[in-house]
Amino acid sequence: MTTLSERETDVALPGEAAYEAATRVFNLVAPARPAAAVTVRTVEDIRAALRFAASERMPVRVHTTGHASATARPMDGSLLVRTLMDGAVEIDASRRVARIPAGTRWGAVVDAAAAYGLTPPHGSSPDVGVVGYLLRGGMSFYSRKVGLAVNSVRAVELVTADGEWRRVDAAADPDLFWALRGGGGGFGVVTAVEVGLFPVAKVITGAAFWPAAHASRLLRAWRRWTEDAPWEVATSARVMNLPALPDVPPVLSAGPVLCVDGVVLAESEDGVPAARAQAEDLLGPLRAVADPVLDTWELTEPAGVLQAHMDPADPVPIVGDHLLLGEIGDEGVEELLRVLGPDSGSPLVVAGLRQLGGAYAVAGRPGGALDHFDARFAYSGAGVPGGELTTEAILRHCAAVRAALAPWDTGRTAPTFVERLDQPQGHLSDDEVAAADRVRLRVDPAGLFRHDTMPATTALI
C-alpha cells in the first residue's frame, strides 16, 4: 500500500480516527476491517476514492450505516467507502417524490415528508440507512398496502467504476435500474435515490404484550386474523425474552412475553373511523384472551410508526436467522412455540413472524430484480451473545428453530432480514443472477466492485 504521504488525503488506515468512523457498524459481532476506509460526501470524493483503489489494486466495498455488516463478505485487502453525502432530503409534493442523499436515515425522511401529509415505505427504525434498506427490497409496515419498498424507487444516482456519475430510471439505462433494485449490489457507489411517497393522515400503531403463557391461544387467533386481513393493516407477532435494562419496563423483563405490534393506515382523516374498526378487529379478540400487561396501541401521527417495533437505537451484538414461510396453520404455530415458547429454553431475545401477503405479493410495474415475495410470513429470530450465552449456543437454537419450521420454509429469503453471511439465503433465480451479472460486467468490467455483492446474487466470484 502507498505510504501515508502518498495517499489521497481522506483515505484512512487502521488505528486512525477517520478509519474508525468510516468502518462503524451496527452489529457488533461483525466489525468491518478493510485495509483502508474513507467517508465520502461528494461525487468528487468518490472519484478520488476509486482512483486510489484502482492504483492500489484494492477491491471497493460500500456501506452507509453498517446495519448489514453481518451479511457482508470479508473485507480483507479492500477499501471501504462509507457514503454520507452532502445535502438534505428534498420533497417534490406535486410528484409525491423524495430525493434522498446516500447516508440519510429514515427518521429524517419521515420528518421531511410529514409536512406535506406524505410518507415513504420506511422501515421500523428511524436509524436505518435509506439506500441499503431500499435496494435490498425493504419490508415496511406499509408494504401490505404499497408493496415492497424497492418498488417505490423512481431513480438511482450512482458513480460507476469508471468514475462516471449516472442517473438511471425506467427510461435511462433500464437494465441497470432493474439490477440496482434488488440485484445484490456490486454496480457502483450510490449517491442518492428518488422514492415515491404516498398520503397518510393518521396511523393506529403500537404494541401489546401478554405473558407468554397465553401465547398458544393468542398466536392461533392472530394467525387466523391474518388470513383475510385488510391490506391497510400490517403486524408482527414475537416472543420476547427481554433483559432487565433501564429502558425496558420491568413488566416486560419479568419473563417471556408475546408481543403483537404493527400499523393501521388511514390515508385521510375520513379514513380514521375505518382504521379504528380494523384495529378493533385485530386487537379485540386478542385482548379477550387475556389482558395485556402493557398496551401502547393508539391513534397518532405517522412518525409513531418508527417507535412501535422497539428496535434498538444503539449498536448491539446480534446473532440470528431468517426464513420466508408459507401458510403455517395451527400446526406451525405449535411448532414455533415448541422451540420459542416459555418452556423451550430459547436464548433468543426476540423471535417471531412478520405478516406478509397483500401488496407484498404483487410484482412491481416495472419491477426490479426483486419486486415481490411469494410467502405468508417472514420468520426472524436473534440473540445477544454475552456473559455465559455464547454465539455457538444461539446458533444451535437457531438451527433447532429452522428444523422445526422446515415444512413451511419456502427456501427464499428477504435480504433485509438476513442475519448472517453463512445462513441459507437467496431471493433471485438463476436467470436473474445471470442477468444481474451481465449488467455488472458492462458497468464494471475490471471487477472493482465484484466482492461488494450479496451471496447467491452473482456467479462472478
Question: pLDDT category, 4, cuts 50, 70, 90?
Answer: very low
pLDDT average, residue stretch 318-346: 97
Q: Number of structural domains, the chain?
A: 1
pLDDT at position 8 is: 56
Q: Is residue 403 assigned to a domain?
A: yes
pLDDT at 359: 98
In-domain check, residue 88 = no
Neighbours of 352 (CB within 10 A): 23
Nearest CA-CA partner of 158 in 127, 179, 133: 179
Q: Would you say residue 76 lies in a domain?
A: no
Residue 40 has pLDDT above 70, yes or no: yes
Contacts within 8 Å (CB) and 24+ apart, 86-89: 86/41, 86/42, 87/192, 88/112, 89/113
Neighbours of 446 (CB within 10 A): 11
For residue 167, pLDDT over 50 is answered with yes
Residue 305 included in any domain: yes
What pLDDT score was predicted for residue 365? 87
Is residue 108 in a domain?
Answer: no
Residue that is written with C-alpha cell 419450521 in the block: 405
| pLDDT tens digits for range 229-242 | 999 999 999 999 99
Predicted TM-score (pTM) of the model is 0.95
Angstrom distance (rounded) from CA 208 to CA 333: 19
> Does the pLDDT of residue 3 top 80, yes or no?
no
pLDDT at residue 403 greater than cutoff 80: yes
Is 397 within the bounds of a domain? yes
Per-residue pLDDT, averaged over 240-263, amounts to 93
Residue 282 confidence (pLDDT) above 50: yes
Provide the pLDDT for residue 245: 85
Average pLDDT of the residues in 142-156:
98
Question: Is residue 288 included in any domain, yes or no?
Answer: yes
- Band the pLDDT of 2: cuts 50, 70, 90: very low
Write out the residue range of the structural domain in which residue 317 sits. Answer: 202-417
Distance in angstroms (rounded) separating the CA atoms of residues 136 and 428:
12
CATH number of the domain that residue 267 is part of: 3.40.462.20
Query: 294: which 3 cell numbers?
Result: 402493557
Which three three-digit cell numbers place residue 240? 420476547
Mean pLDDT, residues 70-86 taken together: 97
What pLDDT does residue 268 have? 97
List pLDDT tens digits, range 177-227.
999 999 999 999 999 999 999 999 999 999 999 999 999 999 999 999 999
CA distance 250 to 310: 15
Residue 433's CB is within 10 A of a number of other CB atoms, namely 19
Which residue bears the cell 425522511?
A: 109
pLDDT average, residue stretch 409-414? 97
User: Which residues have CB under 8 Å from 5's CB, separation 6+?
Assistant: none
pLDDT of residue 6: 55
69 belongs to a structural domain: no
Digit-coded pLDDT (tens) for 344-361 = 999 999 999 999 999 999
